[in-house]
């Protein structure tokens, strides 16, 4: 297999984390290429491989797949266990993945992903607070329903967990009130070797992009 996954700066790129983590959990081998944000050649390098002008992008020989969720779906065709095995659970997993992919705008804007940030103080808007309540509801309901099968949202790791991984980093980066259920799910990630590999790489990266320290990514 000759897969190459093009990523943005690991400290900031929530979209890149998702397919990277899915591929790692699926045991799919790939070459990793990082295109750092806000460098003189960033735009030209991204457009050289990405029709949308954004990362992540997965290249499989002559095929290019862009957008994090589309890449995850492509990986699931290689490793079907990236989705739950039964039809009902798959439908729910796809629903919450799509909800994460297109929603939670206030949370994204007010709590940008930043691996190196630790418990930064901030005051959230009502909209962002509402996002956190909805996320807590999703995590709590699913982990209660599938708890006998494992600690992830559907027991075993799925693309749904990959989609929510950047939220876990956000909740660690900013000082916000968390329920016990949210903390328990976060602990699952911080005991996961693949997730910790990304964290280690991001923390060792010295690049600082000022606009991404307080903006959406």
pLDDT exceeds cutoff 90 at 48: yes
What pLDDT is recorded for position 181? 96
Q: Lowest-pLDDT range, 98-102, 126-130, 205-209? A: 205-209
> Residue 214 pLDDT more than 70?
no
Residue 215, pLDDT above cutoff 80: no
The whole-number pLDDT of residue 211 equals 78
The whole-chain average pLDDT of the chain stands at: 95
At residue 216 the predicted structure's pLDDT band, cuts being 50, 70 and 90, is very low
| In the chain, % of residues over pLDDT 90 | 92
**Average confidence (pLDDT) over 49-70:** 96
Give this prediction's pTM: 0.95
User: Residue 209: what pLDDT?
Assistant: 87
Position 213 scores a pLDDT of 80
Nearest partner of 60 among 48, 49, 69, judged by Cα: 49
Task: List, for residues 147-157, the tens digit of each pLDDT value.
Answer: 999 999 999 99
Q: Is the pLDDT of residue 31 over 80?
A: yes
Structure tokens belonging to residue 104: 């939670």
pLDDT at 206: 86
Q: Taking residues 74-86, what's their average pLDDT? A: 98
CB 10 within 8 A of CB 165: no
Average pLDDT over residues 118-139: 96
CA pair distance 21, 206, nearest whole angstrom: 22
* Sheet with 3-7, side-by-side order of all strands: 31-34, 3-7, 57-60, 63-66
Does position 1 have pLDDT exceeding 70, yes or no?
A: no
* pLDDT tens profile 160-193: 999 999 999 999 999 999 999 999 999 999 999 9
Q: What burial class does residue 88 get, using C-beta atoms within 10 Å of its C-beta: 0-12 exposed, 13-18 middle, 19+ buried?
A: exposed
């Amino acid at each position: 297999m000759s897969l190459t996954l093009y990523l943005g700066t690991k400290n900031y790129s929530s979209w890149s984390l998702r397919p990277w983590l899915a591929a790692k959990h699926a045991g799919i081998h790939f070459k990793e290429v990082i295109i750092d944000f806000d460098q003189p050649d960033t735009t030209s390098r991204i457009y050289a491989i990405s029709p949308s002008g954004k990362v992540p992008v997965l290249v499989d020989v002559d095929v290019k797949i862009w957008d994090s969720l589309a890449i995850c779906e492509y990986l699931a065709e290689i490793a079907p266990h990236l989705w739950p095995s039964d039809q009902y659970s798959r439908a729910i997993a796809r629903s919450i993945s799509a909800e994460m992919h297109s929603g939670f705008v206030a949370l994204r804007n007010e709590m940008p992903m930043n691996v190196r940030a630790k418990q930064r103080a901030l005051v959230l808007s009502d909209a962002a607070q509402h996002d956190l309540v909805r996320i807590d509801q999703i995590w709590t309901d699913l982990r209660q329903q599938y708890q006998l099968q494992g600690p992830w949202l559907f027991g075993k790791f799925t693309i749904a967990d990959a989609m929510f991984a950047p939220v876990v980093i956000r909740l660690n980066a900013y000082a916000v009130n968390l329920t016990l259920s949210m903390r328990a799910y976060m602990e699952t990630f911080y005991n996961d070797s693949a997730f910790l590999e990304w964290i280690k790489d991001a923390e060792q990266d010295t690049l600082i992009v000022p606009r991404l320290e307080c903006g959406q990514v």
